[in-house]
A and B are shown apart, each in its own frame.
Chain A
Amino acid sequence: MVKKPVEIAEDIRIAQRHLLFGWWSLAIFVALGITLETLHAFKIVSYMGVDAETRRLMWTLAHSHGTLLSIIQIVFGLTIPKLSEQTSNLRAWASPCLLGASLLMPLGFFLGGIFYYSGDPGIGIFLVPPGGILLLLGVILVAVNITRDFR
């Protein structure tokens, strides 16, 4: 079945949102990566010190998750126009899930590294589990969409 103009317009709107979010988010996390490398280069104690291992781990996780999720946003934005109209409901749900995950997970890791308790990250880390669940939901919804389309 051919998509209606309204559905095409909606797909474009969602795709644009994810592409825009993904590329800007990627820019932010690449910048964060450069910042972390600079902290390494100058051996900044508050980042490189033995006591800062939790911070180092949390910020590294924030950087890696943020970067990876940015790429997922871009890939999702490129995938949407390829999907058929049958699965529009599913992708309408997948979009906020993926956006939520992209916000919560890196932010949770980052905040968890600002203030922390010895071996435990700060309470910002509590943003990460809901972010992880949203990511899992989003990915499953996209996978289901694609599976249906292939059938």
Chain B
Amino acid sequence: MQNVELAMYLIAMIATTIVLWSLLSRTGKTPYALLALPIFGIIGAIFWFPPDAELQAIKQELPTIGREGFAGSDACRQCHVGHYESWHQSYHRTMTQVASEKSIQAPFDGRNLESRGSICRVDRKGDLFFVEMNDPDRNADEPVTQASRVSLPVVMTTGSHHLQAYWVPSVHGNKVRLFPWVYHIDSARWIPNGDSFLLPPEISCLPPDSKQFGQVWNNSCITCHSVAGDVGYEPGNWQSSVAELGISCEACHGPGAMHIANQQNPLTRYKQHLLGLPDPSIVNPARLSPHKSAEICGQCHVGLDDQVAIPHNQYRAGGDYQATFKLADSQNREDARFWGDGTMRVGGREFSGMLESECYRKGDITCISCHSMHSSEPDKQMKPEMNGNTGCLQCHKKFETDITQHTHHSAGSTGSLCYNCHMPYTSYALFTAIRSHRIDSPNVSNSQDSGKPVACNQCHVDQSLKWTSQHIENWYGTPQPKLDDEQNEVAASILWLLRGDAVQRTLPAWSLGWKASRDVAGDGWQVAFLAVELDDPYSIARYVAQKALKEFGVSIEGYSSLVSPDERSPVAPGIQETFPPINTLNTEGLRAVIDSNGLNRQSLEMLLKQRDNRPVTIHE
């Protein structure tokens, strides 16, 4: 119920009672005026509060909550208030929530959502949220008619940080299906599911309610977006269960029921407090070995072998990771999730990156070396003291005294931040570039082979690979590889942007708008190249370019990244004319693409013809 409505209703109730009281005072039956109060109360409850039966019916649609051995986060709160509260602020908690006014961020205001011939409607009734759509359980070959329209309650949400997805009940037990539209929180708009992942246009351009997007929560998201999710599938019947929705205490600390039972006796607790003994019935990642500790995060933040059924519900924090998970083969060149050198290029799979790092293989690095679930801001969950170079200097102390000697950049500058060179933005997820968690060093030769952008050229976006390899040779003695003509002459970021695959194009579109790169490579010339990406076949690439253009104050009226180039005329030429590039820096890497007349269209066309059009699918 809205507060204003409630206030007005209460005022009406009191006013009616007063009027009745004064009228009845002449008859001496004033107490009867008080009957107005319960009558108003009953009427209000009927109109404003949905009947319990409806709420109960919605709860029936959810996966069963509660599993043997698990206690739930509320039980943990009784003793660990601080830890509970810090977790409660995190996006891990809100990864999966029961649909409610508190959890839902999108406007359910009766609007129609239309795209590619499909219409959905989102609305609410009191505290209940509904969608109207084509029946997601209809047969695939059944034609869409008025009869196939259904109104379904929203029962669950996924995400609360960048995107929020909504789940509606389906047939066969407690199976829930994805609503065809998601809410993009950053841009405050509804977008079709096909435009929320990096998908080839032949898929992303399908109507949003196509079967390709009818994801079932119970056999996909359940594994990482809940605690100890059990798919519970038998033919024709889903009886999924979870210990708790969202990622809560027991995902990282293991089942807590036994711990709670063990800790009932105060003498047991104080014995452990005073002697500094751990309770063996609960897992504390900080007490585990670095690898064991990292594996806890790695139960979700990892790229798994898609061909193997996911047995997540068998893994418990601190358990046998190797026996439970089969990781994706990072050397499989056909797997679009990896760069050619085996580096994970999908965000949210940081453990895969770390596994390839020397710091992990030979050192003691673990996730909580830099991150914290309980002492951090919710966005990236970095320990406050680990921003800057402190994280790396924990082990690499020799660079503490004279960082410039190593980086050849002035101390305190962007180029002297360890992670800008050793953890560059070479992963993609959720409409943006993400830092790689494979900690390595810039290497041009490797970039040639793998296609992975070189860290140097993410800031020095105006410089060629030749320029980069010369510097790396001069500073660190790495021999220069043999480069082709374009690599010698054209800025590396422009090469990736124009002739790379979908991820290679999206990442430089992001880095061209990155403040650190604009500080180094000047402002303005990038617009003409980012404009090319506005006509990219991948809607994610278009969105990232559009967002980067805003950094230059360029916004195109009427342009939507959700509309594919096939559905409209190209916008790039117009923008390139309005913002002709000028090579004010006169850097070698830009000379080949920007001449005295502005954009060198011949070079541009030639590079575009070399574009890597292999289909790329990144579900993140």
What residues make up the interface of A, taking CB atoms closer than 8 Å to B?
Answer: 49-51, 53-54, 117-120, 123
Q: B270 contacts which chain A residues (CB < 8 A)? A: 120, 123
In contact, A50 and B79 (Cβ under 8 angstroms): no
Q: Tell me which of B20-28, B81-89, B193-201, B305-313 binds A.
A: B81-89
A49 contact set on B, CB distance < 8 A: 82
Which are the 5 A-B pairs with shortest beta-carbon distances? A119-B79, A51-B82, A50-B85, A53-B81, A117-B273
Q: What is the total number of residues of chain B having a CB less than 8 Å from a CB of chain A?
A: 13
Q: Which residues of B are found within 8 Å of A50, using beta-carbon distances? A: 81-82, 85-86
A119 near B81 (CB under 8 angstroms)?
yes
What is the bound-complex CA distance between A92 and B253, given in angstroms?
A: 55
How far does the alpha carbon of A18 sit from the alpha carbon of B475 in the complex, in Å? 82
- Verify A123–B274 contact, CB threshold 8 A: yes
CA distance A51 to B269 in the complex (A): 19
Contacts of B274 in A (CB 8 A): 123
Binary contact readout B263-277 vs A (1 if CB under 8 angstroms, 0 otherwise): 000100110011000
Nearest-neighbor residue (CB-CB) of B79 within chain A: A119
A83 to B551, CA, bound (A): 87
> Which residues of B in the span 46-88 have a Cβ within 8 Å of any Cβ on A?
78-83, 85-86
Q: Which residue of A lies closest to B273 (CB)?
A: A117
Residue picked from A49, A54, A117, A119, most chain B C-beta under 10 Å: A119
Partner of A120 from the list B82, B85, B86, B273 (CB cut-off 8 Å) is B273
B76: nearest chain-A partner, CB-CB: A119
A-B contacts, 19 listed (Cβ < 8 Å): A49-B82, A50-B82, A51-B81, A53-B81, A53-B82, A54-B81, A117-B269, A117-B273, A118-B79, A118-B82, A118-B83, A119-B78, A119-B79, A119-B80, A120-B79, A120-B266, A120-B273, A123-B270, A123-B273
Nearest opposing residue in chain A for B84, CB measure: A50
Chain B nearest Cβ from A108, distance in angstroms: 14
**Residues on the B chain within 8 Å of A54, using CB:** 81
**Chain A neighbourhood of B269, CB < 8 A:** 117, 120
Q: A50-B85, A51-B81, A117-B269 provided; 18 other pairs, C-beta below 8 A?
A: A49-B82, A51-B82, A53-B81, A53-B82, A54-B81, A117-B273, A118-B79, A118-B80, A118-B82, A119-B78, A119-B79, A119-B80, A119-B81, A120-B266, A120-B273, A123-B270, A123-B273, A123-B274
Which residues does chain A contribute within 8 Å of B85, judged by CB atoms? 50
- Chain A residues whose C-beta falls within 8 Å of the C-beta of B78 in the assembled complex: 119
Bound-complex Cα distance A117 to B79 (A): 9
CB closest residue in chain A, given B77: A119
- Bound complex: CA of A130 vs CA of B478, how far in Å? 73
Residues of B within 8 A of A51 (CB): 81-82
Q: Which residues of B contact A53 (CB under 8 A)?
A: 81-82
Q: Kindly supply a per-residue 1/0 record for chain B positions 175-200, scoring 1 wherever the CB is within 8 Å of any chain A CB and 0 otherwise.
A: 00000000000000000000000000
Give the distance to chain B from A69, nearest Cβ to Cβ, in Å.
Answer: 23
CA distance A50 to B81 in the complex (A): 7
Contacts of A123 in B (CB 8 A): 270, 273-274
Q: Which residues 261-297 in B have Cβ within 8 Å of A in the complex? A: 266, 269-270, 273-274
A49 to B: closest C-beta gap in Å:
8
Give the residue name and chain of the A residue nearest to B82 (CB). Answer: A51
Which residues of the other chain, A, contact B81 by a CB distance below 8 angstroms? 50-51, 53-54, 119
CB distance from B555 to the nearest CB of A (A): 42
A51 to B80, CA, bound (A): 8
Q: How far is the CA of A136 from the CA of B266 in the complex (A)?
A: 22
| Distance to closest chain B CB from A40 (angstroms) | 17
Cα–Cα distance between A54 and B81 once the two chains are bound (Å): 9
Give complex CA distance A115, B269 in Å: 15
Closest to A49 in B: B82
Q: In the docked arrangement, what's the CA distance between A117 and B85, Å?
A: 16
* Residues of chain A lying within 8 A (CB to CB) of residue B83: 118
- Of all chain B residues, which has the CB nearest A53? B81
Min CB distance B259 to A, Å, is: 12
Chain B neighbourhood of A117, CB < 8 A: 269, 273
B residues in contact with A120, CB < 8 Å: 79, 266, 269-270, 273
Q: How far is the CA of A51 from the CA of B274 in the complex (A)?
A: 20
Residue of A nearest to B375 (CB): A51
**How many Å lie between the Cα of A49 and that of B375 in the bound state?**
13
Chain B nearest CB from A106 CB (Å) reads: 20
Query: Closest Cβ of chain A: how far from B76's Cβ, in Å?
Result: 9
CB neighbours (8 Å) of B80 from chain A are 118-119
Question: Taking CB as reference atom, which chain B residue is nearest A126?
Answer: B270
Min CB–CB distance A1 → chain B (angstroms): 49
Task: Note all chain A residues with C-beta closer than 8 A to B273.
Answer: 117, 120, 123
A123 to B82, CA, bound (A): 20
A24–B379 CA distance with the chains assembled, in angstroms? 52
State A53–B77 Cα separation when bound (angstroms): 11
List, in ascending order, chain B residues with CB within 8 A of A118's CB.
Answer: 79-80, 82-83
Q: Could you say which residues of chain B place their CB within 8 Å of the CB of A119?
A: 78-81
